[in-house]
Every structure is written in C-alpha cells, then in structure tokens.
Structure 1
Amino acid sequence: LGTAVNTRILKCMIPTTLVSEESVVKAISWLCVGKCSGNTKVLFYRWLVAMFDFIDQKEQINLLYGFFFASLQDDALCPYVCHLLYLLTKKDNVKPFRVRKLLDLQAKMGMQPHLQALLSLYKFFAPTLISVSLPIRKKIYFKNSKDLWDSAVLAVRLRNHGPFSEPLKLTLSPADLHPLKRKWNSHSVIPRLNSGNYAKGQGKKEMSLSDHLSCNRSLPLEQLQSFPLLLKNIHCLELPSQMGSVLNNSLLLHYINCVRDESLLLRLYHWLSQILQEECIWYKVNDYEHGKEFTNFLDTVIRAECFLQEGFYSCEAFLYKSIPLWDGLCCRSQFLQLVSWIPFSSFSEVKPLLFDHLAQLFFTSTIYFKCSVLQSLKELLQNWLLWLSMDVHMKPTMSSPLETTLGESMNSVSALIHYVGWLSTTAMRLENNSTFLLHFILDFFEKVCDIYINHDLPLVVLLPPGIFYSSLLSLDTSIVNQLCYIMYRYHKNLIAAKKNELVQKARSEFSFSSKTCQQFNHYLTTMVGCLWTSKPFEKGIYIDPKILEKTGVVQFKNSLNIVHHPSLLSYAASFLLQESPEKRTVNVSSIQGKKWNWYLDYLFSEGLQGLKFFIRRSIHHSSVP
C-alpha cells in the first residue's frame, strides 16, 4: 500500500475496547520488512504511545525492547521511540551498553528532553552506571502523541465503562478537534481495575497447556480484596494495564508506596497528564458544565496524593497551564490543594509559572480567598520541609531524589517564606489590618519559627516587620498570645542553631546571618518594652505629638505594658474586680509589686500559654515593676 493509504489506516486504527498484544507484535514485525516510509514509522510509534494503556498485556512487547532501542539511531523516530521506551523500561532493561549508547546519542544530538528522560530513568534504576550529572527532573519531557486520537481515545474510555447518551464523533485531524459535549462522569474517566490474564482466563472454562506454561503465577488484581492478601502476594502482583485504575484502590496505592518503583509512577503520571489536559480543556470550553463530576475527579487525585504523601508531577504541569486562566472560583478548594502538593523544586523556577499568577488573584479577591491561599501555602511549606528533612537523612546512604545541595534547598524555602511575608504584609494593608486574616498569617509563621528544631534544617527566617507590629499592637488577645508563642519558639530555635553552628560549623552548608539575630533582638526588645518595662519604641518609630495629645495620656512613654496593653485591659479589670466586686471603677495602675505577680498568675490561668512561655523565657522576674 502507498504511504497515503497507510497514513489513513493508522489514523483510523481505533480499538473497540482493548488492543491485543499479539496484533501489536504482528504490526511491529512489518516495520522490519523495510517497505514502510519514515513518516509511516513515525506515525506508528505515535499511535503505539497513544494506545499504550489500551494494550491488554505487555510481556511480549517488552521482549522487543532491544528492537525498539536499536531504532534510536533514526533521528526522526528517536523522540517517539524514547517515549515508548520510557513507558516500557524496567530495571532488567537497564544495561551498560544501552547507557553508553544513550550517552553517545546525547553527545551527538545535544541535551534533548527525550534523551534526558530515558537517562534519568536509567539513572534511577542503576545510579552506578551513570556518573554524568543530569538536570533536575523536567515537568514535561515529551510532546503529546495523542493529539490525532484525542476524541477517539475518549470514546473508547466511555465505551469501556458504560453507554453514553449521544453518539461520539471520532476526530482524525487536529484542525477539526473539538471538545466533546457528553455526560461526563469521573468514574468513567478512571478505568476499572482490570488484569489482562484474569480477563483472558474468565472467558475460558479450560486453560490450554501453553496458557499454563506462559502463566507467571501472578495474582490478578480482581482477587485482591484485603491487606493481608496484599502482603502475602506483594512479590507476584499483576499490575493493571491502565495505571489510572489505582487511584480508586487503596491496596494498590499501598503497593506503589512500598515498592517505590519509578516506572509505576511514570505510567501513572503519563495517564494522568493526558486526562487532565483533555478534561480541563473540555471543562473550560463547555462553561463549567458537570462541575461536580470534574471536582470529584480532582478530589480522587488529591486523595491519592495525600495517601502517598507525594505530589504528582503531572498535576504540577496541569497547574502551570491552568493557573493563568483560572478565575479563582471554579474548583477553588481542589486547585489550592493541588498547590499544596507541588513537589519540591527551585522557587525561582516555580515563581513565574505559578506564584506570580497566584499573587494577582490573591490581591484582587476577597479576604476569604486570601485566607485559603495562606492555608494552602502553609501546607505546601509543611510538605517541602518534610521532603527536605527526609532527603537530608537519605543522603549519607543513597543518592538524593532532589538533586540539589542543602544550601540551594534552603534558599528555595527561604524564598517561599519571604514571598508569603510579602503577600501577608500587602494583604494586611488592603484588608485594614483584619484580625481574621492575621490569624492565618500567624499560623503560617508558627510553622516557620520551628523549622530548625522540628525538621533539623539550618534555616531561621523571621516574620516581616509589618506583621510583627500589627500583631503586637492588636486589640485581639489571641493575636498577642500567638505572637508571644512564636517569639518564644524563635528564641529557642536561634539558641539551638547558634550552639550547633559553633560545634558543627564545618559540616553546615548554610550559615545563619548576624542580621537575623540583630532583627530578632530588636523585636525582642520592643516586645519586652511593650509588655513589661513600659518603654516601647525607644528607637526607630515616631508618632506626631499632636496625635499623642488627642489620646489624653500624660505619660504616654510609660503607659504601655502587660496591664495597659489594649488587648489585656479587660483582663486587668476582671482581675481587680475579683478582689472588690462591689467597686464601680477600677484603677489598673494599682497593679504593681506583688499584685503584678498575682496578675500574671491570673493571666496564665486564663489560658494565655504563649504569653506565659514568652515571659518565663525572655524576662527575669526580678525586674517586676
């Protein structure tokens, strides 16, 4: 047949349900005849990648790994063959001669993304075979091979999982590709759990001798019903032909978490990236129709991320494409949860792709959206810190998955904290120093202040001045109490860090700046002046005397302490009324000497634990006024 006819046939090769492995092997054999044009071969490999998840079994195809690898010599085929090998590669496929061949190709062709992808996978399986340094994992290695068959693949999915309400049009040209209006269901997008051998055996009452001999005694997933059964058969599980089916199966998520086989995650990422790309485009064009179903699908993905305690790179790429178009309303909870699971990477790389767009939405949205974003960024920081603390302990025994030095990692975390500090300071001005917003900001910095002790990471970043002074002069007691607790924890972390710096200075890659200590001492002096010594703001602040005259306070410099602080005046009055309930007026200035100590005990008994820790840590009781 001619090239034009072959091309049309390949474009029309749409499976009814699944693709038989035997038919794929026969099709591959025709490539060896030598009569196929280069364009036909390229189109065939694109088709093979696009239909990869629909192939019922892959054992025989994997036996052809060497044939596919030899096709890397062809410059036109190389990107698509790399993509196929990326999906097929197992640890047994990684051989020294293949590593050498890939390195030779890279030297010849340069740093091509598809070659880097295969080399990165090889390095994961056999780190001793690859000594060259590779760039940090990219978000997207391959171009989408499914664009010719997008709607056709979607039709097959729906056909496999129940009837659909209206006919589905199989589009064969990218120019004519339109999102399908259909009854969208999150369960129809996520494949059912299906083992090729089990489905094959179910259709036969008796198995032939060849079936018995070819059987590798793997446990079909349909029979996996309990955790004890998983533990008993963890070495012989037959993985599903479509990796998306694991999202709804907690036992298989346990398996993925235990075996830590990168090839499984790569297959899942590949499937997920295609689904998110297709469904998000359809969802936008159709004006958010069937929003509940799409939201349920995202919830399923997020539950899997939470279960594995690991962000999916395909979700990260989805965010980078979607955030610039996002209105801040559609699927808000799901988008912000996906943000909190972004895998650790350089902040300077993520900022233009995500955080710059998020800041625009942040400043122009309601206070409730601002609080939601701050909560999401707090969870993102928590996840990054957990990954980094694990990475630090892994480095002595194995190669780090993050591929960055400790100092570079700390710089990224520090940049994230400063970014949140900038958002918070600006938001406080926009929202007129809202107490509600300030609670979320302090919750974030409560996580920041304990980085050194809780995560054993050499980093101390203070909260910005705009947040510190707004909290210190707040009329809300809980805000002042929380600030006291944060300063108490900063104090402990800085002391621990300075001691460790003296003992292990040679080992540390990250030194604490003297500027951080100076700023903390300034904050500490200001707080002690406002809460204890009645000498606030002796340096660095100026208030117009006319404004001070309007307050009616004669000695304003000596009138701010733990008794006269605006957020604590009600406690002082209640304390005095306990002694003389019949009095109509109270003189809070009478709280001095022993009564001062009794007043402190009263405050502590009212649950102000942050204030208690701060005073006992930072103030000597011999200095009672």
Structure 2
Amino acid sequence: MGKQKLRRSSQRLIKPEQQPSYGKGDLSARLRNGKERGDITEKITTQKTHQDKCHSADDQAEASEHDLLEQALQYFGKVEGHVQLKGNDTLLKHLNTVERVGTQRGLPPEGIDILLSLALSGKFVDTVNSRLLKCLIPSSVVLEDTVVKAVSWFCVGQCTASTQVLFIRWLITMFDLIDRKEKLHALYGCFFCFLQDERLCPYICHFLYLLTKKESVKPFRVRKLLDLQIRVGKQPHLQGLLLLYKVYCPELVSLALPTRVKTFFKNSESLWKAQMMTVRRKNLGSPSVGLQVDFGIKQVPLQSKKRKWNSLMNLPISSSTVSIVSQKVVSSLYLHQDEAFPVEQLQTFTQLVQNIHRLEFPAQMGSVLQSPLLLHYINCIKDDSVFLRLNYWMAQVLHEECAWYTGNQHNEMEVRAFLDTIANAQQFLQEGFSNCEEFLYKSIPHWNGCYRSQILQLLSWIPLTAFSEMEQLLYEPLGQIFFTSSLYFKCSVIESLKKMLQNWLSWHAFYADQVSIQDSPMNTTLSGLVNTVSDLINFVGRISTIALHITSSSLLLHFILDFYEIVCDMYVKYAMPLVVLPPAGVFYPALLSMESVNLNHLCYIMYRYRKNLVAAKENEWTKKCKLRLNISSKTFQEYNQYVLAMVGCLWTSQAFQKDSHPQGIFMDAKVLMRTGVENYRNSFNIVHHPALMGHAVLFLQQGFGEEKTLNLGLIKGKLWNWYVEYLYKRGMHGLKVFIESSIRRISSSAQSHSSLSESCPSVAQK
C-alpha cells in the first residue's frame, strides 16, 4: 500500500505540464550530463567493488597467516630433545612463518613464552636459536613470568655463550615492554653473578643499570665492581654502573668517576630496531604515536613501544591481570605506606601529594617527559639519581637517533616529535637539560637547518656558560649559519637568542636576593654573569648590524628591536647591573625606518634606557644599590648622542646639523644644498618622516577634507600640537613616552643643572 502511494506521488510530481521546457541545445546537454553522471556512478561502483575485494583478500591473508602461526607455535611447543636442522623441512617452514609474522606484525605474549624458552633450552643449533631470538618482537607486552622462565634456562647454561649474549641484548631492548618487574628485581643478585663473564659483562652492566633501585646497592656489590675494575681496567660499562651506585649511595663509592654524561653502554637494539619500527607502524598506524605530548594524564591502551622511544607516562599492564585497576586495589595501596607507588597508577595531583615519599620511577626515565605530575616531582626533589638516569637516557637517544635528516620520512617525524617533547618539558621545568646543551654544541657546527623550530627552542634554554666556550662552540658556527640563511631563519635565530637572554635574566632575578650568587644553580660569579650576558648582547649586535646591511628588512628589524626591548630593561626589571646600548648599525636603521611600528618601538626602547640609567644613578647616589653598577662615561655619551639624533630628526628638524655620533647622519650644509631637496631640514621630523607621513596626510584629510589641496607645511603651531595628540591616539605609545620624557626636558631651562643632568648632560643643556 505504501509503495502504491509513493508511486502515485512520484507520478504526480512529473506531470508534463509541470516540467520546465528545454530547448534543443539544453536537452542535448542535459542528456550528455546524465550520461556522464552514469559513467561516474559506474566508476565509483567499480572502485568500491575493487576495494571490497582487496579488503576481503587482506582479511583472508591475515586469517591464513594467523592459522600458520598457530600451527608453528603448536609445533615448537611439542619439541622434545635435540632437533636437527639439516633436511628438516617442517622446522624450516615453521621457522620462516614465525620470522615473517614476528618482524611484520609482532608475536603475542604466549608465542614469545614458547619461543624464548625454546631458544634458551639448547634443543636447536645456534643458527635456529639466533633466528628465533631476532624475530621475538612483541605485539603488545612481554609477560614477567616469561622472562623469569627464560632466566632459569639462561642460568642452567644449556645454550651457547653467543645465545646468552643475544638473550641479554634482547632483554635490554624489550625491558620497558615487560609488564611487571617485581620478580626481576628479586633476581638482581643472580644477574650480578654473571659479571664475571667477560663476554656478558658489558650487557649485564647495562641491564643492571636499568634494573637498579636504591635498595639494590649493597657494600659487597660495590666492592665487587671495584675489584673487577682493578682487574680489567676502567671500562665504560663498569663506570656507568658505579656512577649510578654512587648517586644512590655516595658514602659507599669514594672513587672519582666521570661527571659528564657519556655513552657507557653499547647499543643493544640494532638487531631489533628496524623490525620494531615496522611492527609499531602497523599496530599503531603512525610512527610518531607515543611521542606526541599530552599533558593531560589519561589511561592508554596496551601498545608496543620501542625502548628508547617509550615516552608515554603510562606503563604497560600485564595482560594476565585485569586491565583496569579496581578501586579496592587502589585503596589498599594507600594502606601500605612502606610499599612503592607505581607511576602508572599516578593520575591526579592529589595522588602525587599523598604518595610523594614512596613514588617509584619507571626503569625507562624517558617516560617522565610526558607526565606533568612527574615533572613537578623531579623539579622538587633533590635526588641526583633521577637526573642522572634521565640525562643518560636522553644523551643516548639524542646521540643515536637525532642525527640530521637522512631521507627517512618516518624517522624525521619521530625525531621532530621527540625534540618537541624535550622542548615542552624544558618549558614546563623552566630550565634546560645539560645533555641538550652538549648535543647542541656538538651538532650546531654540522647543522643543515632541519628541525629548525625544535633546535632553536632547545637553543633558548642553554644555561649560562663562560664566553670563551660559547664563542667557540655556539656563536661562531651559529653566526656562519645565520649569514648564509634566509630572512625568516635570521628572524628565528634572533628570536631564539632573545628567549635565551630572557631566561638568563629571569634566573638571575630569581637568585639575586640570595646572600651569595654562587649559591644559585648557575654556578657563576656576578662578574662572570655580567660578562657572559654582555658578550651575548654584543654578539647579537654584531650579527644584527651585518644582517641589516645585507638585508634591509623591516621584519628583521622588528625582531632585533624585540631583543633590545629586553636589553634596555635589564637593570630595573631583572636587577642586572649592566647597561648595553644598541650599536649604531641597529639604531640608525630603526630611526630612519619606513615603518611607523619600528620607529615607535625605538622610541619606547630609548625611553626605557633613560629610566634604567636614571634609576642606576639614583641608587648609586643614595647607596641603595646592592649590586654595584659601573657605567662608563662612554655609555652616557653614546646615549646622549642617540637622544640628540632622535630629537633633531623628529622634533627640531636639525638632524643633519646636530648629530655628533661618528656613524650618524651629520652632513655638511653645502652637500645638502647640492642635493636639490627643498626643506631638507624637515625631512625626518614627525610630519615629513617616511614612517609618519601617512599619518600626517590622514590628519589633514580629516581636518580639511579632500576638497582642499593638502600641504604638510600647514601642520605647525596649534595644528602641530593637535597632530601630536592625533599620533598618540593612533597607538604611538613609544613616541608619546619618549617625547614626554625628553622633549619637555630640552625645552625646560630650569633643569639644566638638576641632578638628572649628570645622567643625560648633553640632552639637558640642549
């Protein structure tokens, strides 16, 4: 019945008298369009059918692969006694299946349990054992019971030494994918005994480094390591483990150890690195998943992650246990105050406060970078072991993974995400990591400009260092890159150096009230601090002067003036006993700029310079200055020359006659007459200045309309004062404060001998 009604309604809608009339051409076009739509529909249907067939084929292949894997695991699970490889086609078939699945999609936990025990049981020859261990890539996690069972086979010694070494390397690589580690900590002494084996010692030290907790450090173990070092020499792996022991228990290790972070251990991941990347991309969909910063703590599903890139705060939970911790279990953890609180259960700031005394950091310290709660924690505690472990891990990753772009797009995405993670963590902590500083010093001379945003963010957090070191390690190579780079790269470098200076000044201002500045983490004297800051400012002044000669860009000038806006307020705002003026190569391009924004910015900067100079002079007179400020007469002289040049340009129209700066714009009157320019004296006042002429024209248009011919010479007398007020209302705040602080003093003869005349003597006399 419904279909008949629908059919009738459709028939009513297409009655002939209701159809619009079409011409012959319109009708043919309509038919042609209908045919094209039919062709498109047919193509879409064909493509959809093809996609469905492809998906169906993929599903069938995956199901077939799953069946083959089950058959292979059943075969390996039933192996008893020694099995020969030669002529054993069944073994080769199942071994190839396991290798293919393991290196492409990863193996399930139960599969790893079977194959790992079999590889260490000695039932196969070394070739098969090696192939099995190399394909053990987990798709999710590795069960702790699996590792314990494998360790028992490892201790029995049924396998060869090469297989034992390969197993320890696999254990180091998969360490952060093990769901729990309580039983492994109980086996600490068992692993420690294998330090006697020369082939195993470097890898056992690395594994113990990951496994060590404070309670693991015992006097007899320290003595054992020291005796071993005496016997075999100062090996890097022994020094790395001893250094960690010394951080946990400094009273037990009195030996002098290297303080700078270095690569203590050999790379154990090379055999599984590429396969783990492949498995992670297929399982997670993106190579950078797990590296993107998310400062909201949330529960994440079980996922496979590479050891070094395991930067997620939430650690994997055993698949053999309940995936979500019940409220009863969580509440029971609060009752046992002596037990460690695992960080994977840390979800709120309240939990952090209640369990701050019993938090247990993950074995992989890189996971701390993703958690604002743990960043809060390491910012408060004074446990050097946390920073030692974090610095070692970060130095290793920066050294091995963050080489410059080599053409691998996936690797580039990972490196970019990782550097963003470090930069965000430094921003959160408001201080830089020491290993990032070393990484930048080593890599900047060879930098090809990639990861520009990330590298410059890291650059801005470099701590204070002696100028001799920074000149050689940073300023010289950075200057070479700066001069040969694009305009936008130059702007980015100036912005980064501005943030670096701001960070230095903020650190100094924070610790300025301490009794001794040596107590601050900057570990420098006041004179050393002043010299380092002054050298940075002078370096920026040099490269800015050259850059403005090479590229006369208003955008670059804007970034340079932003830098000097920080410099001009160092004394008043940051308690830094230093005043450094911009070089003439920066001042005059800003004064003669074509952009009113830059001119206004310069006026504000010179106003703030005056405030700082006056404050420093007053503090010196009243003996209120705790930090002795020694300003040379040359600084006052140069400041007065700058102010006279600005007043001569903008107000008195005497710039070409009164500018006394050696690099100024003074010109002989005869030369000016030869130019043929009428009223050349007024060329740079606030009416005729190229940056302000547009405002003057708009002012006259609003006052006289467009009927009368506009003449800028009309702006004088009362119109001059009205025009100045008009500029103030147009947002020229910098010009306003400069005029109010300088021009009125010039016109006031009463203040020619005031106390402030010593800070600006030539300005007051004029």
TM-score, length-scaled by structure 1: 0.78
Aligned to 2:646: 527
Shift of 1:285: 4.2
Of the structure 1 ranges 236-245 and 484-493, higher mean CA displacement relative to structure 2 is found in 236-245
Aligned to 1:379: 499
Query: How far does the alpha carbon of each residue in 1:400-435 deviate from its partner, in whole angstroms, 9 at most, with x for none?
Result: 22221011011111111111111111111111x211
Aligned to 2:483: 363
Shift of 1:194: 6.5
Whether the 8 Å contact between 2:460 and 2:500 is mirrored in structure 1 is yes
1:501 aligns with 2:620: yes
Aligned to 2:415: 294
Whether the 8 Å contact between 2:311 and 2:370 is mirrored in structure 1 is no
1:25 aligns with 2:182: no
Pair 1:317–1:30, CA change in 2 (3 A) = same
Whether the 8 Å contact between 1:273 and 1:315 is mirrored in structure 2 is yes
Query: How far does the alpha carbon of each residue in 1:287-341 deviate from its partner, in whole angstroms, 9 at most, with x for none?
Result: 554422321121111111111111111222222222222221x211111111112
Q: State the distance in 2 between where 1:11 and 1:302 align.
A: 35
Whether the 8 Å contact between 1:62 and 1:88 is mirrored in structure 2 is yes
Whether the 8 Å contact between 2:311 and 2:369 is mirrored in structure 1 is no
Q: State the distance in 1 between where 2:269 and 2:465 align.
A: 31
Whether the 8 Å contact between 2:170 and 2:268 is mirrored in structure 1 is no
Shift of 1:26: 2.3
**Which one has the largest radius of gyration?**
2
Q: State the distance in 2 between where 1:71 and 1:156 align.
A: 39
Spell out the pairing of 1:457-472 with structure 2 (5 A cutoff): 457-472=576-591
Shift of 1:444: 0.9
Whether the 8 Å contact between 2:517 and 2:526 is mirrored in structure 1 is no
Aligned to 2:562: 443
1:86 aligns with 2:243: yes
Of the structure 1 ranges 601-610 and 255-264, higher mean CA displacement relative to structure 2 is found in 255-264
Spell out the pairing of 1:266-415 with structure 2 (5 A cutoff): 266-281=388-403, 284-328=405-449, 330-396=450-516, 399-415=519-535
Spell out the pairing of 1:178-197 with structure 2 (5 A cutoff): 187=291, 188=305, 189-193=309-313
Q: State the distance in 2 between where 1:58 and 1:490 align.
A: 54
User: Which ranges of structure 1 fall in alignment gaps of 5 or more residues?
Assistant: 107-113, 118-139, 167-181
Aligned to 1:147: 266
Shift of 1:147: 3.0
Shift of 1:576: 3.0
2:732 aligned partner, one-letter code: L
1:590 aligns with 2:709: no
Shift of 1:381: 1.1
Shift of 1:364: 1.2
Q: State the distance in 2 between where 1:228 and 1:335 align.
A: 35
Determine helix, strand or coil for the equivalent of 1:620: helix
Q: State the distance in 1 between where 2:474 and 2:646 align.
A: 37
Aligned to 1:455: 574
Query: How far does the alpha carbon of each residue in 1:187-213 deviate from its partner, in whole angstroms, 9 at most, with x for none?
Result: 4312454679999998999x9xxx999
Query: How far does the alpha carbon of each residue in 1:146-205 deviate from its partner, in whole angstroms, 9 at most, with x for none?
Result: 33535258579869xx65779xxxxxxxxxxxxxxx967654312454679999998999
Whether the 8 Å contact between 1:389 and 1:455 is mirrored in structure 2 is yes
Two-structure CA RMSD over aligned residues (Å): 3.8
1:475 aligns with 2:597: no
Q: State the distance in 1 between where 2:281 and 2:690 align.
A: 65
Aligned to 2:702: 578
1:332 aligned partner, one-letter code: R
Determine helix, strand or coil for the equivalent of 2:169: coil
Whether the 8 Å contact between 1:575 and 1:602 is mirrored in structure 2 is yes
Query: How far does the alpha carbon of each residue in 1:256-301 deviate from its partner, in whole angstroms, 9 at most, with x for none?
Result: 12224332122111111111111124x6445554422321121111
Query: How far does the alpha carbon of each residue in 1:203-233 deviate from its partner, in whole angstroms, 9 at most, with x for none?
Result: 999x9xxx99999322222221111221222
Of the structure 1 ranges 567-576 and 467-476, higher mean CA displacement relative to structure 2 is found in 567-576
Shift of 1:254: 1.7
Pair 1:455–1:49, CA change in 2 (3 A) = farther
1:47 aligns with 2:203: yes
Q: State the distance in 1 between where 2:406 and 2:209 align.
A: 26
Q: State the distance in 2 between where 1:474 and 1:352 align.
A: 34
Spell out the pairing of 1:200-279 with structure 2 (5 A cutoff): 216-279=338-401
Q: State the distance in 2 between where 1:237 and 1:217 align.
A: 9
Shift of 1:523: 0.6
2:430 aligned partner, one-letter code: Q
Whether the 8 Å contact between 1:417 and 1:461 is mirrored in structure 2 is yes
Q: State the distance in 2 between where 1:391 and 1:7 align.
A: 55
Q: State the distance in 1 between where 2:288 and 2:209 align.
A: 20
Pair 1:398–1:375, CA change in 2 (3 A) = closer
Whether the 8 Å contact between 1:71 and 1:81 is mirrored in structure 2 is no
Query: How far does the alpha carbon of each residue in 1:77-98 deviate from its partner, in whole angstroms, 9 at most, with x for none?
Result: 376544323324456x233x85
| Residue from 588, 609, 612 that aligns with 2:736 | 612
Q: Which has the higher contact order (CA 8 A, sep 6+)?
A: 1
Pair 1:234–1:22, CA change in 2 (3 A) = closer
* Count of aligned residue pairs for this structure pair: 552
Q: State the distance in 2 between where 1:305 and 1:27 align.
A: 36
1:461 aligned partner, one-letter code: V
1:600 aligns with 2:724: yes
Q: State the distance in 1 between where 2:517 and 2:684 align.
A: 55
Shift of 1:383: 1.1
Shift of 1:496: 1.0
Q: State the distance in 1 between where 2:639 and 2:517 align.
A: 37
Q: State the distance in 1 between where 2:276 and 2:464 align.
A: 33
Aligned to 2:68: none
Pair 1:73–1:290, CA change in 2 (3 A) = closer
The sequence identity of aligned pairs, in percent, is 41
Determine helix, strand or coil for the equivalent of 1:51: helix
Pair 1:183–1:562, CA change in 2 (3 A) = closer
Pair 1:603–1:542, CA change in 2 (3 A) = closer
2:190 aligned partner, one-letter code: K
Pair 1:419–1:398, CA change in 2 (3 A) = closer
Shift of 1:601: 1.2
Determine helix, strand or coil for the equivalent of 1:533: coil
Whether the 8 Å contact between 1:186 and 1:294 is mirrored in structure 2 is no
Q: State the distance in 1 between where 2:392 and 2:261 align.
A: 10
Shift of 1:504: 4.2
Pair 1:546–1:490, CA change in 2 (3 A) = same
TM-score, length-scaled by structure 2: 0.65
User: Which ranges of structure 2 fall in alignment gaps of 5 or more residues?
Assistant: 1-159, 176-180, 292-304, 749-765
1:518 aligns with 2:643: no
Of the structure 1 ranges 494-503 and 436-445, higher mean CA displacement relative to structure 2 is found in 494-503
Q: State the distance in 2 between where 1:157 and 1:251 align.
A: 29
Whether the 8 Å contact between 1:72 and 1:78 is mirrored in structure 2 is no
Shift of 1:472: 0.6
Whether the 8 Å contact between 2:209 and 2:241 is mirrored in structure 1 is no
Whether the 8 Å contact between 1:391 and 1:402 is mirrored in structure 2 is no
Q: State the distance in 1 between where 2:567 and 2:213 align.
A: 48
Q: State the distance in 1 between where 2:534 and 2:191 align.
A: 54
Q: State the distance in 1 between where 2:517 and 2:685 align.
A: 53
Determine helix, strand or coil for the equivalent of 2:579: coil
Pair 1:396–1:148, CA change in 2 (3 A) = closer
